[in-house]
Amino acid sequence: MGEETLLWSEKGDAMSRFLDERRHTLPPAVTTLAEQLAAAGYKVTQPRLAVLKAITSLPGAFSVQEVEQWLIERDESPGIASIFRTIRLLCDLGMLQRIHGLDECHRYCLGGGHSHHLVCTQCGVIERFDNCGLQGVISGLEQSTGYRITSHVVELFGLCPRCQSITA
């Protein structure tokens, strides 16, 4: 039976087989993300696995260019277009968060949910924090405007302690 005649459930099984055949060679963090992709109905392909390996290996927040460089150094790069598409998909699924970094360059970090970021304007280091203290403001805005606010982003820019000590 050709792939074009496979039923959806059989395609899902084929995607699971692709992941299962490689599972023993993958770090647990990569396997977890790949399983989330498959559970959301997306194919787990070699290019996507390569990107998952990179993003789970890079420390902290990363740029698309850093992912590409990491993959090039290991001769695993699927190409910049595939990297961009995979990162966009992971953001859409809530598996990655996009952070507005310095110099118009977006950075990304693993995880979704309610978190916010401090960005150092000197060195670019990014630190996550969870409690933004805006829930009361959001509730007031919903009452006064009639909006149902579904999400928000807080990114604060300043100097990290290390950069402050250098400039002091």
**For 64-101, how does the pLDDT look when each residue is reduced to its tens digit (9 = 90+)?**
999 999 999 999 999 999 999 999 999 999 899 888 76
What are the structure tokens assigned to 120, written together? Answer: 């150092």
pTM tops 0.95 = no
**For 3-57, how does the pLDDT look when each residue is reduced to its tens digit (9 = 90+)?**
444 333 444 455 567 888 888 889 999 999 999 999 999 999 999 999 999 999 9
Q: How far apart are CA 110 and CA 132, in angstroms?
A: 19
